[in-house]
């Protein structure tokens, strides 16, 4: 959905350029603002997922990108509206139930042996030992 929203935004900007409503400089700022929006999301995710010094670096990058985003002017508003539209249209799928697996090596080996897959059981034990 995000790609559709970005494509629609791009078409609107190109239409405005062909009608001489925007300049070439303004055309360059829109993709830059869209890129910064994606980068802002990536650094926000990194600052949430990472730990330790990497998290601190990601948080610093997030702050720097947010400051740079402010300098995009009206194009930043367009990028935020694009991201907001995509977020509004995004729907989470319900989580599908996953099969429960045995947590131990011996449990996996026993299950494979019962199914007549003794060589598979050896492969499981070897893989988990590596």
Q: For 109-119, what is the mean pLDDT?
A: 57
Looking at residue 19, what is its pLDDT?
92
Q: How far is CA 99 from the centre of its chain?
A: 26
Residues 6+ apart with CB under 8 A from 6: 34, 82, 86
Domain ranges of the chain: 2-89
Band of the pLDDT at 110, cuts 50, 70, 90?
Answer: low
Length of the chain: 130
Tell me the C-alpha to C-alpha distance, in Å, between residue 95 and each of 21, 87, 92, 98. Answer: 46, 19, 9, 9
> What digits encode the pLDDT tens for the residues 5-25?
888 988 987 888 889 988 888
Band of the pLDDT at 39, cuts 50, 70, 90?
Answer: very high
> What digits encode the pLDDT tens for the residues 48-84?
999 999 999 999 999 999 999 888 888 888 888 888 8
Position 29 pLDDT exceeds 80: yes
Phi-psi region of 11 (alpha: psi -120 to 50; beta: other; left: phi over 0): alpha
């Amino acid at each position: 959905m995000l790609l559709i929203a970005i494509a629609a935004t791009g078409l609107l900007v190109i239409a405005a350029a062909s009608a001489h409503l925007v300049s070439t400089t303004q055309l360059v700022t829109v993709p830059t603002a869209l890129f910064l929006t994606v980068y802002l999301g990536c650094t926000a995710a990194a600052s949430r997922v990472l730990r330790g010094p990497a998290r601190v670096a990601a948080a610093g990058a997030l702050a720097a990108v947010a400051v740079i985003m402010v300098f995009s002017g009206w194009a930043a508003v367009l990028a935020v509206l694009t991201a907001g539209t995509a977020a509004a249209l995004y729907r989470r799928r319900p989580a599908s139930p996953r099969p429960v697996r045995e947590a131990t090596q011996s449990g996996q080996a026993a299950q494979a042996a019962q199914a007549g897959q003794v060589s598979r059981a050896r492969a499981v034990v070897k893989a988990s030992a590596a």
